[in-house]
Structure 1
């Protein structure tokens, strides 16, 4: 243990800061007990990751971090903040305002605020009207409740902002004049994602700098987006009628339930289109009409459901020439996993899609192919997440051994602190159990995903998983050993104090 303690003590300050950055702020602060050298290093971490729940049980924090104000005032104010993440449960406007104001005064570049319950939510006006010259990325995620979404109804003044992600909020410009807009003062806003958002009736969302726009799972009665320099548009599962004017659009992902949810004006520059729908028979004319607008497209992906509809209505295609004279690649890809497995494309439909570009490459994916690809991707994603978790726990295990030594040294001088450690023991036991449960759950998820894969797709992942599985077993053993050391040391220390 002495060797490991010395190894930790000899790490450079920059490396220690990088290690601590993997944890939220509460966990980073708690590592200050590792050694006297570590005591103040957390104050220089360029990230704040705070949850309002961290400040409900003060005995979980050490003396100098009893509330969020003390955490902030203890930071090294010579270090600017690169990012701030707030997780808020309940009505904690003071908590939000305190952190937001501090972050803005220290040139924060990226901010994320997440609310977790259905209590009243007030968006922080001090943020939107701050005229911040540093904030470039902002994410606001409210609870998913259609009946009472927090409202954005006044212009924001964030001139440096380039990327904005809004989730479960209500956008309205009823209080603005016709020359203003919600984001008109966000002069550099290029990337906008609206997820599960509601846009008020006849709302016009206009911005000259929009380059990437993603409305997904939104609710619009009639809304209009004017983006003269928009390059990439991703529209997913939108409800209502959304009109988009985009004369320079080059890439379109269109994935909506039916045709009349979407109206696109200005598609002459389109080169790449992913077009998914689950259309009804009465939508056939509309589908053909919108496909004919994509006459300059070079890379076209069609949902299998669109192909199935057109295949059943080939009489409408007999007298039509192919609009795709520049097509280089055609992919047919299912939007849904359920349905017929066999994919048959009639000659009339082939002529409509490929008649003007006979040399275009064609790739057809069955629903079985898509499920296998989806499962393989999920397995790889979970394995990557598990690998990060295991690496973090290896570091924590080394820290834990060093921490046990220092706690023993501090018993005589910090009896009150040791009493807090005794109280925390039961919390730590539960935390360790949760970590092991998380690892086991990930392993089970990966096993189930691999079980359903065809052998051709499973072989490449199986070897990686076997190695990861062995590593996970070793880390779980380290966690259990660490827990024995923690609990044993604390019991011994507490008995000595009595």
Structure 2
């Protein structure tokens, strides 16, 4: 068999990467920092100006020895781009105290280039209420993360103006006042490691909100009002909240954290799935009674998952259960999650209490 050395040599000598279309090269480079992208493009005459048309911009101050050099680089990149190419995604990873220069530079670019997705990661403070940042007609996805919890204090005089926004994720922030009412198309909202100050009641006004996640909120003496008539899915994870007024039309509820049987004021009428998981709690009669009242507010649920500690709490006071009717009338499946325990102490009274009004329901010990 003859081996064609000349043909192999021609294939090897071809620059296959340079023959790729610009769109594919942009996609490959989208996961890298812009400093790396610019340096890489300088290695090839074919790629020399490719960075100027990148639709994905990812800036990180960690790649520079000083904030001045980072500022100069970012200014150079933004001012020498091909401005006929829109920016679909802009990321800023900023390790340092953000000043008005960075805020205004980012904001101006978001506005003038119809950026649809903006992600800002802050290692230090963000200037309180930067006037230009929080208004955009094109932005659809916005993530703002402050690593220093509470360093980002958002107390706007007027609500954020993001009419096109559909997904919003805020982490490590301090909230006060109406923030969301002009974000009329937000469907997914996540508040993480947040706190509420200066107001006793905080309103989340979002007419089209479908999914809400509250994670690590610390506002023990505050009331949160969810004015969200289309809210379907609510997830609460390790939050300390005095009271949460949620719409009664919820379809899915997931609560994990400290025992808080009185968190919800009203009953829910159309629940499909419910998951309640508590940290270990003392089994006191008062707590068992509050737990019973909480379960009764979830009466419409069809698929229910309860933590082992909840079951053991009500099992410890069987006399209380005899004076209360079973809360679940539409139950299809009840799952007792004992994944953190070797066994679960579930009394006959507790079993009857949970499923007697849904005799065909399936009981699963997970």
TM range, smaller chain: 0.7 to 0.9
- Is the contact between residue 126 and residue 152 of structure 2 (CA under 8 Å) also seen in structure 1? no
Q: Deviations over 1:64-108 (max 9, x none)?
A: x95211111222211111111111122232123212311221111
1:366-381 → structure 2 map (5 Å cutoff) = none
- Is the contact between residue 202 and residue 222 of structure 2 (CA under 8 Å) also seen in structure 1? no
Where structure 1 has 5 or more consecutive residues not aligned to the other structure, the ranges are 174-180, 366-498
Alignment partner, residue 327 of structure 2: 323
Alignment TM-score, normalising by the size of structure 1: 0.65
Query: Residues 310 and 251 of structure 1: is their aligned pair in 2 closer, same or farther, counting only changes over 3 Å?
Result: same
Alignment partner, residue 116 of structure 2: 109
Question: Runs in 1 of length 4+ with deviation above 4 angstroms?
Answer: none
Report which structure shows greater RCO (CA 8 Å, sep ≥6): 1
Alignment partner, residue 87 of structure 2: 81
Q: Deviations over 1:173-227 (max 9, x none)?
A: 2xxxxxxx32222121222211111113323313322222212111112222132
Residues in 2 aligned to 1:224 and 1:57: alpha-carbon distance in whole angstroms: 42
Alignment TM-score, normalising by the size of structure 2: 0.87
Question: Is the counterpart of residue 187 in structure 1 residue 188 in structure 2?
Answer: no
Where structure 2 has 5 or more consecutive residues not aligned to the other structure, the ranges are 1-8
1:201-216 → structure 2 map (5 Å cutoff) = 201-205=199-203, 206-216=205-215
Q: Which has the higher helix share?
A: 1
Alignment partner, residue 6 of structure 2: none
Residues in 1 aligned to 2:88 and 2:13: alpha-carbon distance in whole angstroms: 31
Residues in 2 aligned to 1:57 and 1:32: alpha-carbon distance in whole angstroms: 23
Query: Residues 322 and 56 of structure 1: is their aligned pair in 2 closer, same or farther, counting only changes over 3 Å?
Result: same
Query: Residues 149 and 100 of structure 1: is their aligned pair in 2 closer, same or farther, counting only changes over 3 Å?
Result: closer
* Aligned length, in residue pairs: 348
1:191-270 → structure 2 map (5 Å cutoff) = 191-200=188-197, 201-205=199-203, 206-220=205-219, 221-225=221-225, 226-259=227-260, 262-270=263-271
1:62-211 → structure 2 map (5 Å cutoff) = 67-93=73-99, 94-117=101-124, 119=125, 121-128=127-134, 130=135, 132-146=136-150, 148-154=151-157, 155-173=159-177, 181-200=178-197, 201-205=199-203, 206-211=205-210
Query: Helix, strand or coil: the match of 2:133?
Result: helix
Residues in 2 aligned to 1:14 and 1:364: alpha-carbon distance in whole angstroms: 52
Equivalent of residue 304 in structure 2, options 291, 300, 313: 300
Residues in 2 aligned to 1:9 and 1:145: alpha-carbon distance in whole angstroms: 45
Query: Residues 103 and 55 of structure 1: is their aligned pair in 2 closer, same or farther, counting only changes over 3 Å?
Result: farther
Q: Which has the higher strand share?
A: 2
- Is the contact between residue 149 and residue 173 of structure 2 (CA under 8 Å) also seen in structure 1? no
Deviation at 1:334, TM superposition (A): 4.4
